[in-house]
Structures are given as structure tokens and as C-alpha cells.
Amino acid sequence: MKNENNEPTARNFTMGLQAALRQQRLLHGAVKKAGIWRQNQDYDDFLQEAFLAFAQAYVNYPADPEVDECFLGYAYQHIVWRLTDLLRKQRYRQAAPLSDWESWHHVSDDTEMELMITLQELAYDRNSIDQLIIRDHFIKGQSLTTIACKAQLSPRTLRKHRTQLREQLAAILDDTKH
């Protein structure tokens, strides 16, 4: 964009929101593409996020979004990715951190003590990452993201180790039940 002196002007967020108001079909389409339907109770919130993502794409776009015909495709993809990330985070927050362990909450004190002893024995034979997951995640209930930050590890690595530990613990616990 250029002003009357043919000098480039800075794009701001307000201009992006005004452009978003002119592209509501694109926004609704991107929300739909992300798998969010009008019946969803959070539809309006996600639509608002789509407006904000469009405005952010408008500000960050390297060329002039008013002239470049590729901008709408760029903005559409930016919105879909942003909403997909939000959905993933929402599902993660709503999921129980130890959902497959919930069946063990109704067990007796003796069984719970056996479970804790089994966890300690398992931790004793494991590497430091597994010990960290057993102690901080399984026992203390901390999130893997928090543990990853503290230990300077990737959450992906911790999720991989947690999955392996869960499988091993399930096998051990199945053996103790029989």
C-alpha cells in the first residue's frame, strides 16, 4: 500500500480486521475446513479467532495484501492452521492426563500401595527420563510440557517414553491382577 506521496505505509491490525470483514465467506470456509460446525458451542469463539488470524496474516504478509491475489490463499491456510492448533490444545486440556489410569482410582488402599511400590520398582530399573515421568507425571500429576521445560527435553520425547511406560505398566498390572 502506498500513500499520496507513493511511499509505502505500514499495515496495522485494524486494517487487517477491516479486510477480514470484507472476506467473511473466506473466514467461515476456513472455520468449516478446520472441522468446526455452526452447531459447535464454541463456534463464535473460533470465528472470532479466525478474524484475528486473518488480521495477523494481513499484517505479516510480505507483499501488499490488497493487490496480491495469493494473499487470500495464504490467509485461508493461516486461519485453518491456527484453528487446528486451538482445537488440538482444547482437546488436550479437556482430556484427562491419565485417562487409562482412572480405572485404578476405585481400588483399595492395599492395591494402591502395591501400585506405588510397582512404580518405584519400575523407576529403579529405568533411565533418568523414565524416572522423571514416573515421579513427576504419574505420581505428582505434572503435565509433560511442564516437565519438558524443567528438564530441557522435548515434549515429544516425553510422550514417547510415557507411552512405552504405560504399556509396560499395563502388562505388569495385568499380571498382578491374575
With bands split at pLDDT 50, 70 and 90, how would you rate the model's confidence at 7?
Answer: very low
Helix (H, G, I), strand (E, B) or coil at 8: strand
Structure confidence at residue 8 (pLDDT) = 47
Helices 13-22 & 43-60, crossing angle to 10 degrees?
Answer: 120
With bands split at pLDDT 50, 70 and 90, how would you rate the model's confidence at 151?
Answer: confident
Helix (H, G, I), strand (E, B) or coil at 17: helix
The pLDDT of 33-38, averaged and rounded, is: 92
Counting Cα atoms < 13 Å in the Cβ hemisphere of 26 gives 18
Structure confidence at residue 177 (pLDDT) = 61
With bands split at pLDDT 50, 70 and 90, how would you rate the model's confidence at 4?
Answer: low
Counting Cα atoms < 13 Å in the Cβ hemisphere of 82 gives 22
Q: Give the lowest-confidence range in 32-46, 87-101, 144-158.
A: 87-101
Domain segments of the chain as ranges: 13-94, 99-177
With bands split at pLDDT 50, 70 and 90, how would you rate the model's confidence at 108?
Answer: low
Structure confidence at residue 98 (pLDDT) = 45
Q: 2 forms bridges with which residues in the sheet?
A: 8
Fold of 99-177: Arc Repressor Mutant, subunit A (1.10.10)
DSSP string, 53-88: HHHHHHHH-SS-TTT-TTHHHHHHHHHHHHHHHHHH
Q: Could you tell me if 58 and 15 are in contact, meaning their C-beta atoms sit under 8 angstroms apart? A: yes
**Quick one: cell of 142?**
505434572
